[in-house]
Structure 1
Amino acid sequence: MLERFCAMLSLLAAATLGASVPTHLDPLDFFSGHSHGVGTIWIVFKGTQPLRVTSSGRPDGHGGIILDQTIRRGSEPPKNRSWNLRSTSPTTLTGTLSDASGPVTGTVSATTLTLDYPMKGYLRASQTLILQPGGRVLLNHMTVSIFGFTVATIDERITKD
């Protein structure tokens, strides 16, 4: 429900501002090449910190993509991680993430990508990425929870270079 509301707001804003409205999000295409993200991360008992992510995506040779990322959170040392994603249908994808404890599943609906995956320590991550007018920016909202309680959130603007 929230993802539909956010997508509708994005389309309404684009129509109001006269911007071009993307008609379809292709996550594998969007993340091919270089992109960068800027945002914030909030972690329970730690507060909010700045977040910067640089990404480089390339075909995996089997119809999917390998996405290598460097994550900089606050003053902590950079952390590297890698995604391997592939489409399983026009509206679904699956894959792996180096710091997940199980498979990544995803659903694509018009301009929205929703990802879900387990993390270590009984944590669960859910991400909603919404393509913005012009097709070069995704807004990413991520929630990390344990037993249904939110323990971290990320709000990030990802721009395709």
Structure 2
Amino acid sequence: MTALAMLAAAATTTFNPVEFFQGQTHGDGTLKIIFQSPKRMSVDSQGSMEKDGSLVLKQTIHEPQKPPRTRYWRLRQTGPNRFEGTLTDAASAVRVDVVRERVRIRYKGKDNLDFDQWLAARGPKEVTNTMRVKRFGITVAHFDEVIRKLD
């Protein structure tokens, strides 16, 4: 395959978040909140498909000095390269756009927080997650994580 053909194939490759998050995944990352020291966190997830084609993702978040907490995502495809849904700790609907090999997730949280995440595949079983959290347009936190598919 020529270099041009490989570039063309890579340009048309898309990352499907619903396929990736079916089954078990584990993420390890670092959360940095403004005026605080960075803290290591981990996230264990279990994803399953509903009869209507929606993905239901149960996440257990492990944060230092806090008990584990659980949240749920529900996403369904609403168009080509587009998903919408809910997240139990979001104050708005969740919007997911697939942009070739990356996925952008946006939603509003409580206390006027705006969440903007980018997921990028690093292979068939690994994804990076880069999240920025803004309040009134100012970045107040960021989270950088590597997520691995376990099954």
Regarding TM over 0.5, the answer is: yes
Residue among 89, 97, 120 paired with 2:110: 120
Query: What secondary structure sits across from 1:138 in the alignment?
Result: strand
Q: State the AA in 2 paired with 1:62.
A: D
Q: What does residue range 1-161 of structure 1 map to in structure 2 within 5 Å?
A: 23-132=13-122, 134-161=123-150
Calculate percent identity across the aligned residue pairs.
37
Q: In 1, Cα distance between the equivalents of 2:57 and 2:97?
A: 18
Query: What secondary structure sits across from 2:15 in the alignment?
Result: coil
Cα drift, residue 45 of structure 1: 2.2
Cα drift, residue 24 of structure 1: 2.2
Query: How high is the TM-score relative to the length of structure 1?
Result: 0.84
Q: In 2, Cα distance between the equivalents of 1:25 and 1:47?
A: 33
Q: In 2, Cα distance between the equivalents of 1:106 and 1:78?
A: 26
Query: What secondary structure sits across from 2:67 in the alignment?
Result: coil
Cα drift, residue 23 of structure 1: 2.5
Supply the RMSD in Å over aligned alpha carbons.
1.4
Q: State the AA in 2 paired with 1:124.
A: D
Query: How high is the TM-score relative to the length of structure 2?
Result: 0.89
Cα drift, residue 90 of structure 1: 1.9
Segments of 5+ residues of structure 2 without an aligned counterpart are: 1-5
Runs of 4+ in 1 over 4 A off after TM superposition: none
